[in-house]
Chains A and B, each alone.
Chain A
Amino acid sequence: MSGSNVWTRSRARMRLFPELMAQCSGEATAYGKCVAATTTGKQELTRNMCVKEFEALKSCFQSAAKKAVK
């Protein structure tokens, strides 16, 4: 496949992923700790249990992506 299509564009976006993750390492650690805590506790992991931490991570990630595009 030559030229620009949805696969080349999404692969190009994916290549930025590690750098953007590096910029949001604090939020990522917080989210990871929240999920890891549920595995050792008495509660089972259910949907949106760590939604606050995830929303923080996602917004950090999206603003880093916007900065990277500029």
Chain B
Amino acid sequence: MNVSVKSLRGVSRTWRSFSSRQGMNVFDRSMKRRQKDWASSLLDSSKYDYLREEVGSRVADRVYDVARTFPLALDVGCGRSHIAEHLSKEVVERLFLTDISSSSLRNRKTSDIPAQCVMADEEFLPFKENTFDLVLSSLSMHWINDLPGALRQIHQVLKPDGVFIGAMVGGETLYELRCSLQLAELEREGGFAPHISPYTAVTDLGNLLGQAGFNMLTVDIDEVQVNYPGMLEVMRDLQGMGESNCAWNRKLLLQRDTMLAAAAIYKEMYGNEDGSVPATFQILYMIGWKPHDSQAKPAKRGSANVSFADLSKIGKLQSDQ
């Protein structure tokens, strides 16, 4: 990432803040359902699947890393189901798929794991407590209004010693598009409005998971850069993925002059040598466990039997053995 880009004056961003209750209705969920329905019923919808495929396979990798078989698993916000096709019946025996968009569930990809589809909102999971051994979520949590609440519900439906493995878009995703649109609007119209939805910062994610009751957390960040011919192709692909903005504060109109200006700025500031432009997606992966007695706990205070002072003698200890 170009450091000079980050120090642009007048270029701002809004992070999702989870401290105040007022920030809890950021997205228009019914609009998101309509966008997902439209995107999944496109004839060439598989053309836009590349990002979800990649992230789905990486989430499946993390499932394999946990050397266990999961009798019952849940995929929250599954879309057209991009994780299940990389998993096998030996690892996950039965799968529940939920999404707010019924059209996505109907057009989902096939896999050999027996699956049941439930149309449900991620914030109102219709399952009993202590049901699932594994909960998965890939690239849908960045549209949830009450993220702390949704994480608490995931924690609830998990069995003790169950695990939640999720991936969401966050951090500095699409900063090139955000900055180009912002500068173009400033220069052409004299002010700017948010066009990119607010994302969760990676530093907040650990706190969110901890507050929801998960322990043994693992959070890591992955950057995927995709090259496009130009800014319009970026926007068209985002629309085809069902990732159009649905925040209540979004501006509904993008003026033609501003679009032209933004495309020129995008190419000049971020373009590659061969004329293409990059778009950055920062994917946050998270793993959290529901507490159980069998899990390792921190040692009791006062139970140490070696002192830090012995560190200086380590060389001597090794040569004795």
Looking at the complex, which one of B183, B257, B267, B268 makes contact with A45 (CB distance below 8 Å)?
A: B183
For chain B residues 254-275, which have a beta carbon within 8 Å of chain A?
Answer: 257, 260-261, 263-265, 267-269
Q: Are B264 and A45 within 8 A (Cβ)?
A: no
The size class of the interface chain A forms with chain B is: 20 to 34
Once the chains bind, are B261 and A31 in contact (CB under 8 Å)?
Answer: yes
Q: Tell me the chain A residues, 12-70 only, with Cβ under 8 Å from chain B.
A: 14, 17-18, 21, 27-29, 31-33, 35-36, 39-40, 44-50, 54, 57-58, 61
Stretch in contact with the other chain, from B22-30, B129-137, B148-156, B228-236: B228-236
User: Which of the candidate stretches B5-13, B64-72, B90-98, B112-120 sits at the interface with the other chain?
Assistant: B5-13
Interface assignment of B49: CB less than 8 Å from any CB of chain A: no
**Cβ-closest chain A residue relative to B186:** A45
A35/B260 contact (C-beta < 8 A), A45-B187, A47-B188 known? no
Q: Given known contacts A18-B232, A39-B183, A54-B187, is B268 in contact with A61 (CB within 8 Å)?
A: no
Give the CA-CA distance A29 to B275 in the complex, in Å: 11
B4 contacts partner chain A, Cβ-Cβ < 8 Å: yes
Does residue B302 face the partner (Cβ distance < 8 Å to A)?
no
Residue in contact with B264 in the complex, picked from A14, A32, A49, CB distance below 8 Å: A32
Say whether chain B's binding surface is mostly helix, strand, loop, or mixed: helix
Cβ contacts under 8 Å, A17 to chain B: 230, 232, 263
Q: How far, in Å, is A19 (CB) from chain B's closest CB?
A: 10
Give Cα A46–Cα B186 distance, bound, in whole angstroms.
6
Inter-chain CA distance A57–B263, complex, in Å, is 11
Shortest CB-to-CB span from B70 to chain A, Å, is 44
Residues of B within 8 A of A18 (CB): 229-230, 232-233
B interface residues, tally (CB under 8 Å): 25
Known contacts A28-B264, A45-B10, A54-B261: A35-B187 contact under CB 8 Å: yes
A1–B265 alpha-carbon span in the complex (Å): 34
B189 within 8 Å of A by Cβ? Answer: yes
Provide the residues of chain A in CB contact with B232, threshold 8 Å.
Answer: 14, 17-18
CB-based contact A21/B11 at 8 Å? no
Known contacts being A14-B232, A39-B9, is A61 close to B189, with CB within 8 Å?
Answer: no
Contact B261 A47 (CB under 8 A): no
| Residues of A contacting B11 in the complex (Cβ-Cβ under 8 angstroms) | 39
Within the complex, what minimum Cβ distance (angstroms) separates A50 from chain B? 6
Q: Counting CB contacts under 8 A, is B190 at the interface? A: yes
A49/B233 contact (C-beta < 8 A), A31-B264, A35-B265, A58-B260 known = no
- A10 to B261: give the CA distance in the assembly, Å: 18
A46 → chain B closest CB, angstroms: 7
**Closest-CB distance, B192 to chain A (whole angstroms):** 10
- Selected A-B contacts with CB under 8 Å, 21 pairs: A17-B230, A18-B229, A21-B260, A28-B267, A28-B268, A29-B268, A31-B261, A32-B265, A32-B268, A35-B184, A36-B265, A39-B8, A39-B9, A39-B183, A45-B10, A47-B190, A48-B188, A49-B187, A57-B260, A57-B264, A61-B260
**B-contacting residues of A (Cβ < 8 Å)?**
14, 17-18, 21, 27-29, 31-33, 35-36, 39-40, 44-50, 54, 57-58, 61
